Amino acid sequence: MNACRPAAGAENNKMPLVQSFPLPSRNRAAVLCAALLLAGCASSPMPQWREPADPGYAPVRPVQAARTMTAVPAVAISTAPPTRAALIAAAKAEWDFFGNQQIDMRHDLFSAPRLGLLEDEGEAVQRVGEYWHAVGKNLTGADCQQAWSAAFISWLMVSSNVAPQDFAPNETHFNYLSFLRERESRPSPQFVLRPAATEPIAPGDLICAPRGNNAATTLDEIRPGLAGHCDIVVEVHADEGWAGAIGGNVFNSVSESLIPVDEQGRAVQIAQRPWLAVVKNLLP
């Protein structure tokens, strides 16, 4: 099956990178023929924050799936309270499962030091289905026209037992970013948004950029439905000028993107990643 298909939807705009993307000799030209698939479809409604019935810790349950799509299997959820380390470990485990694909974005010409399993290859098909289940969708990696990067981030949160009053799983990055912005005004937020231009990144944070026709340049311009992409930071080497961030649907796989950072550990903007927001992870 060919994973590189024309994609539809506001967040599926592909960037023409093939001519500037030196790849190893494996026969992957068809797979990477269009470019960087980065975010989920902008079709789901804006999630709303609700006061939990129990003011203490409330474990996650994928409410959307249970309420509207009974055919969607439940997501396996950790029984432990969520932590920053658990989120990072979950992201690294998925990256391992997909074969540790890396995309080096530190230079004008992207390169792929390592290629991995694609969304419609072998066991990856059902694995991507697990991510979709976290946002209540009955899709799999065979649905290549549907970008799943926001579903991947949502799955990390759901499976790591992040409570729904702290992160609202959604298939669109800017929907859950909008939720998190409002959540900051409520008691004890677990994630807060900061400008990427001034905020150093750390492992466990999300780093987010607009895409396509999304022209947002400030946090105040974040609103539901806008196209975007977020990765979870897993390593920062400010002294060497780079960081690693794992994301879903990056060149049709779970990939670690190697991105440039300055000496303070702030993400440096590049054309394909005009970083807008750092979602600071305040989990223990």
Condensed to tens digits (0 to 9), the pLDDT of residues 246-282 reads 999 999 999 999 999 999 999 999 999 999 999 999 9
Query: Using CA atoms, how far apart are residues 246 and 34, in angstroms rounded to an integer?
Result: 21
Q: Where are the domains of the chain?
A: 18-23+77-281
Please write down the long-range contacts of 141-144, taking CB distance under 8 Å and 24 or more positions apart. Answer: 141/3, 142/1, 144/1, 144/2, 144/3, 144/4, 144/5, 144/7, 144/119, 144/120, 144/252
* Nearest by Cα to 117 from 234, 3, 253, 257: 253
Q: Tokens for 277, please give them.
A: 């927001």
At 259, which amino acid appears?
A: I
Q: Give the pLDDT confidence of 223-242 residue by residue, as tens digits.
A: 999 999 999 999 999 999 99
Using alpha carbons, list the distances in angstroms from residue 136 to 58, 173, 195. 19, 15, 30
* Nearest by Cα to 21 from 118, 110, 104, 113: 110
Q: Identify the pLDDT of residue 254.
A: 98
Q: Give the pLDDT confidence of 15-24 residue by residue, as tens digits.
A: 333 323 344 4
pTM of the model: 0.81
How many residues would you count in the chain?
A: 284
